[in-house]
């Protein structure tokens, strides 16, 4: 199969450091569907390059003359456009049930933000640094240094907030059961984001959530390991 | 269809106040599958009555000579035993994806406990009161009055913790999509528990989570409304 698909994929100062939690959902979804893709390294300030998508955030998938934005929209597009490839959802009910996992994953990004945001800043491209700091400090209404300053104190609460996820992943290897589904890729995204930019140990070594994350890193010939990351 | 199924269902001082978050999952699951059931009001201290189940908690379903405990186990039993009735999961992937909803629901019970536990005490049967207070104070390592004392202060955080659920339920009417599935019944349980015992307004009137709860109360001819409850 030729690589007809292209994906704008957030890159850091190093072109191969791909750290977007949203792009990783789609990287794994494409692999799940056996769809080769050409990833195009993209920086925060390169809004013009993805303007045909009608918005300014990645992931953006280009399939022929179609530009598709938003990870949940892209996942649904792939499921519908490539119905004979392995299913991301496992049927209509599974698709509906997957939606909340996408929203859970968005919540995890918000929850991890005050732990890793200063580490993200260390890794964004030079030309993105001012934009990144300004936009994130506006969102947080605080200096990034202040945002992360008490992270050690907040860590136990963050880890406790993963209790339900931890419980499920003690009961079955993946959220999708014996094999991963889109629900797994969505929730994996934030954890992959964190390990790509931060040495901070959000998860304990023996956390079932970490073991699950590592199983996902092993999937698709270790696709998730093909980017610089920390052993965190 | 004759009522061959019996369900031990937690009751309060009033026999018709059925308030267990775990039993409600199964009440709705049985209705979803069009399975008539005889509910047997049960109190916390009536351990002997459910001893054939091999444990001491409800729900316990009795189907002929089979005694089945644990809501997730019962849901799976019903799905497998009555495969021609409407599916609770929507297929194998849906079943695996439903597991985490069950664990999310358990987490919600733990999160709501410090808001409503003293109100539960007001509604348990007289003979259950000492047992309930002692067991819950041991679990909380505090007097129940102390547990709930700062609930107003904690309420904003609780409501904020529902952000992902709220977001999903703005996007689709049920977690299962256009129609509810077991995932909905599981997560509904804690909210039903709270409104059956407590006038405390855990949800704002215009919260999409509350609207979803109310849609579930309307299901199956208003089954969830057939028990005393507060307009909370």
Of A98, A165, A167, the CB nearest to B97: A98
Six-digit token pair at A97? Answer: 């049930």
Q: Which of A88, A94, A97, A109 should we substitute to test contact with B (largest number of B Cβ atoms within 10 Å)?
A: A97
Residue B109 and residue B19 share a domain: no
Task: Report the pLDDT value the prediction gives residue B3, as an integer from 0 to 100.
Answer: 60
Residue B210 and residue B121 share a domain: yes
How many domains is chain B partitioned into structurally?
Answer: 2
Residue B76 and residue B130 share a domain: no
Task: Report the pLDDT value the prediction gives residue A2, as an integer from 0 to 100.
Answer: 53
Residue B116 and residue B34 share a domain: no
Tell me, yes or no, if B164 comes closer than 8 A to chain A by beta carbon: yes
B157: in domain = yes
Q: Kindly list the strands in the beta sheet with A60-63, ordered across the sheet, starting from the edge strand earlier in the chain.
A: A37-42, A5-10, A60-63, A66-69
B141: in domain = yes
B2: in domain = no
Q: Which of A90, A96, A104, A164 should we substitute to test contact with B (largest number of B Cβ atoms within 10 Å)?
A: A96
The pLDDT tens digits for A46-104 are 999 999 999 999 999 999 999 999 999 999 999 999 999 999 999 999 999 999 999 99
Rounded CA gap, A138 and A157, in Å?
A: 25
Of B91, B163, B171, the CB nearest to A107: B163
* Domain end position, chosen among B62, B81, B100: B81
Residue B204 and residue B107 share a domain: yes
- CATH number for B114: 1.20.1050.10
3-state secondary structure of B12: coil
Residue B196 and residue B106 share a domain: yes
Q: Do A91 and B96 touch (CB under 8 A)?
A: no
Closest CA to A95 of B171, B143, B124, B207: B171
Residue B203 and residue B97 share a domain: yes
Of B87, B98, B107, the CB nearest to A97: B98
**Nearest C-alpha of chain A: how many angstroms from B183?**
8
Q: Do A176 and B101 touch (CB under 8 A)?
A: no
The pLDDT tens digits for A177-200 are 999 999 999 999 999 999 999 999
Rounded CA gap, B175 and B169, in Å?
A: 7
Tell me, yes or no, if A106 comes closer than 8 A to chain B by beta carbon: yes
Task: Report the pLDDT value the prediction gives residue B2, as an integer from 0 to 100.
Answer: 53
Tell me, yes or no, if A40 comes closer than 8 A to chain B by beta carbon: no
3-state secondary structure of A81: helix
The pLDDT tens digits for B29-78 are 999 999 999 999 999 999 999 999 999 999 999 999 999 999 999 999 99
- All residues of chain B having their beta carbon less than 8 Å from the beta carbon of residue A190 are none
Residue B109 and residue B70 share a domain: no
Q: Do B168 and A103 touch (CB under 8 A)?
A: yes
Residue B163 and residue B110 share a domain: yes
- Backbone dihedral angles phi then psi of residue B10, each to the nearest 5 degrees: -60, 130
- All residues of chain B having their beta carbon less than 8 Å from the beta carbon of residue A107 are 163-164
Of B96, B103, B106, the CB nearest to A177: B96
Instruction: Give the number of beta-carbon pairs within 8 Å between A and B.
Output: 108
Average pLDDT over residues A9-29: 98
Residue with tokens 């704002």: B204
pLDDT for residue A119 is more than 60: yes
Residue B123 and residue B101 share a domain: yes
Residue B102 and residue B33 share a domain: no
* Domain end position, chosen among B37, B52, B81: B81
Q: Do B181 and A92 touch (CB under 8 A)?
A: no
Rounded CA gap, A120 and A193, in Å?
A: 9
Residue B116 and residue B61 share a domain: no
Q: Do the Cβ atoms of B226 and B218 come closer than 8 Å? A: no
Rounded CA gap, A64 and A70, in Å?
A: 17
Local confidence band at B4 (pLDDT 50, 70, 90 cut-offs): confident
Q: Do A97 and B90 touch (CB under 8 A)?
A: yes
Q: Do B175 and A92 touch (CB under 8 A)?
A: no
Tell me, yes or no, if B165 comes closer than 8 A to chain A by beta carbon: yes
**Nearest C-alpha of chain A: how many angstroms from B119?**
25
Average pLDDT over residues A160-174: 98
Residue A64 Cα distances to A129, A177, A190, angstroms: 32, 34, 29
- All residues of chain B having their beta carbon less than 8 Å from the beta carbon of residue A189 are none
**Nearest C-alpha of chain B: how many angstroms from A181?**
8
- CATH number for A143: 3.40.30.10
B230: in domain = no
pTM of the shown model: 0.97
- All residues of chain A having their beta carbon less than 8 Å from the beta carbon of residue B171 are 99, 103
pLDDT for residue B22 is more than 60: yes
pLDDT for residue B117 is more than 80: yes
Task: Report the pLDDT value the prediction gives residue A4, as an integer from 0 to 100.
Answer: 87
Identify the domain containing residue B191 by its residue range. 92-225
Buried b (16+ CB within 10 A) or exposed e, A56-87: ebbbbbbbeeebbbbbbebbbebbeebeeeeb
Tell me, yes or no, if B87 comes closer than 8 A to chain A by beta carbon: yes
Task: Report the percentage of chain B scoring pLDDT > 70.
Answer: 99
């Amino acid at each position: 199969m030729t690589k007809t698909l292209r994906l704008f994929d957030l890159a850091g100062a190093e072109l191969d450091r791909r750290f977007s939690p949203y792009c990783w959902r789609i990287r794994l979804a494409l692999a799940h569907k056996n769809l080769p893709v050409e990833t195009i390294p993209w920086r925060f300030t390169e809004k013009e390059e993805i303007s045909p998508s009608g918005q300014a955030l990645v992931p953006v998938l280009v399939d022929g003359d179609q530009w598709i934005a938003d990870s949940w929209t892209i996942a649904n597009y792939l499921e519908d456009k490539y119905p004979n490839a392995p299913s991301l959802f496992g049927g209509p009910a599974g698709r509906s049930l997957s939606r909340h996992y996408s929203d859970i994953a968005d919540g995890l990004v918000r929850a991890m933000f005050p732990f890793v945001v200063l580490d993200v800043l260390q890794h964004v491209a030079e030309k993105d640094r001012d934009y990144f700091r300004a936009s994130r400090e506006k969102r947080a209404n605080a200096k990034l240094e202040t945002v992360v300053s008490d992270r050690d104190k907040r860590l136990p609460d963050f880890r406790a907030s993963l209790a339900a996820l931890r419980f499920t992943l003690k009961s079955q290897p993946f959220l999708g059961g014996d094999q991963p589904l889109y629900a797994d890729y969505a929730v994996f995204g934030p954890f992959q984001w964190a390990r790509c930019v931060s040495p901070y140990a959000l998860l304990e070594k023996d956390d079932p959530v970490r073991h699950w994350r590592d199983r996902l890193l092993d999937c698709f010939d270790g696709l998730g390991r093909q980017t610089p990351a920390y052993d965190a």
